[in-house]
């Protein structure tokens, strides 16, 4: 697959892209151009990997019948019941971040395939936001059902899934004015609840 230039959305910097990325749950059925799919796939190659071990991969499901089957699979199992809206989403594609557990890639009790798969997923989600696409990182899903829908081997673990499509409403970057008007954004935690700055001597 050759690298292609993705259609640029409304951003001028990485910080704009980070602010633009939102958890989107309502989508239009507008098709995603082929060059955007190719650009997202090419972006995966730029992601970091824990210990530089490439034991993770991204699967992008695009065929309508397979997307429909995967939507139902996400809702399967007890964990999947937290995302009932996935059954009716109009998003034309679904992303799955997967990893292969590897006993040699574990430090203490940390399974590094989860870190590698998460790094791949975040890169794809940010690239999607830069293209004007919406996503929603889902940790609640029926993994066994999702694995069957993806037709993957038993040794592959599914770490996260996300719908992929154009939001039904425009997403705005979080300017100061937008933050003041958007209560959902104001509910986010304060910086000092998320970051500890260790002062130098």
Percent of the chain with pLDDT strictly greater than 70: 78
90 DSSP 8-state letter: -
pLDDT for the residue numbered 46 = 83
Chain centroid offset of residue 174 CA: 19
- The two three-digit tokens of residue 162, written as one number: 């996300």
The end-to-end CA distance of the chain, in Å, is 50
Residue 181 has pLDDT above 80, yes or no: no
Express each pLDDT in 94-152 by its tens digit: 999 999 887 665 566 567 888 889 999 999 999 999 999 999 999 999 999 999 999 99
pLDDT at position 179: 47
Among candidate residues 72, 42, 69, 27, the one with its CA nearest the CA of residue 166? 27
Q: pTM for this one?
A: 0.81
Q: Please give the Cα distance from 83 to 186 (Å, whole number).
A: 23
CATH topology of domain 14-172: NADH Oxidase (3.40.109)
């Amino acid at each position: 697959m050759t690298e292609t230039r993705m259609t640029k959305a409304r951003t001028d910097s990485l910080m704009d892209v980070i602010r633009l990325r939102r958890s989107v749950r309502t989508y239009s059925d507008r098709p995603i151009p082929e060059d955007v799919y190719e650009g997202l796939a090419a972006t995966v190659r730029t992601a970091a990997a824990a210990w530089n071990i490439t034991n993770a991969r991204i699967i992008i499901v695009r065929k309508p019948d397979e997307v429909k089957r995967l939507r139902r699979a996400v809702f399967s199992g007890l964990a999947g019941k937290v995302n009932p809206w996935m059954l009716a989403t109009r998003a034309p594609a679904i992303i799955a971040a997967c990893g292969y557990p590897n006993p040699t890639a574990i430090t203490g009790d940390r399974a590094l395939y989860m870190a590698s798969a998460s790094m791949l997923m975040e890169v794809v989600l940010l690239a999607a936001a830069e293209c004007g696409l919406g996503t929603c990182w889902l940790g609640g899903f029926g993994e066994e059902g999702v694995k069957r829908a993806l037709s993957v081997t038993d040794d592959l673990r599914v770490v996260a899934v996300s719908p992929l499509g154009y939001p039904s409403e425009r997403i705005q970057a979080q300017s100061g004015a937008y933050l003041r008007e958007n209560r959902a954004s104001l509910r986010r935690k304060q910086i000092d609840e998320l970051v500890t700055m260790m002062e130098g001597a």
